[in-house]
Amino acid sequence: MAAGLIALLTGACALNAQTGIAVGAGVTVAVNDRDGDGMLDAGEVQAMVERVFPPATLTGGFWDGMRASVTAAYWSKDRNRDGRLSPVELAR
């Protein structure tokens, strides 16, 4: 799957950057959307960030700050402030 994803993203980026970003946003939502509603909610964003920066192994203030910063960056994309992130919002 990883090789296919890389090929898809690379091919999309070759078309233009915005297409690559849109594809990446769609893939991010599809992979992390646990309830299947096509959006990321707070629990799904938290789980995604913690998979990348696991709190069980990456401990301490630096890592806590990293998780908080990445989470805040995602929520800054929530333009309509509904507490869910769509692929369109992530692509902006």
pLDDT one-digit tens code per residue, 45-83: 999 999 999 999 999 999 999 999 999 999 999 999 999
Structural domains in the chain?
2-91 (1.10.238.10)
Calpha distance 3→18 (Å, rounded): 21
Q: What is the pLDDT of residue 29?
A: 95
Checking if the pLDDT of 14 tops 90, the result is no
- pTM value is 0.77
